[in-house]
Amino acid sequence: MSINSKKRSERSSCVVATCKHYASKTKEEGFDISFHRFPIKNIEICNMWVHKCRRGDKWNPKTSLIYSKHFTQDSFVRNLKAELLGYTPKVRLLKPDAVPTLHLPPDHSQSITSSSAIN
């Protein structure tokens, strides 16, 4: 199975349901941002990402991106070289087990954790 990345969407945007981040817009704001592909090779982690996005419509994780603001700082692999030389790396890597946790739609399942026995 090969992933064909030739077919790019005309605009990059964050896939999180309540999120309105667009690559073009966020660049203008000058933040230290990046967009990250779903870890489709790691099904377990990928499913967690999908769950966090809370999208009600049909969408394809393979072609979707998540904005870096949904990840805590320690979700990223440290670029020691960049830190040493004092520059901000253009490409930031997420740790293999990183999951988005910030600025996400409310998790409704949290209120029913006490009744998990009914499951």
Interface residues with Zn ion (CB under 5 A) are 14, 16, 19, 21, 67
**16 or 94: CB nearest Zn ion:** 16
Please report how close the Cβ of residue 21 comes to Zn ion at its closest, in angstroms: 4
**21 or 92: CB nearest Zn ion:** 21
Q: How far apart are CA 65 and CA 43, in angstroms?
A: 16
**59 or 87: CB nearest Zn ion:** 59
Please report how close the Cβ of residue 19 comes to Zn ion at its closest, in angstroms: 3
Please report how close the Cβ of residue 53 comes to Zn ion at its closest, in angstroms: 9
Cα 84 versus chain centre, distance: 26
Phi, psi (deg, nearest 5) at residue 111: -80, -10
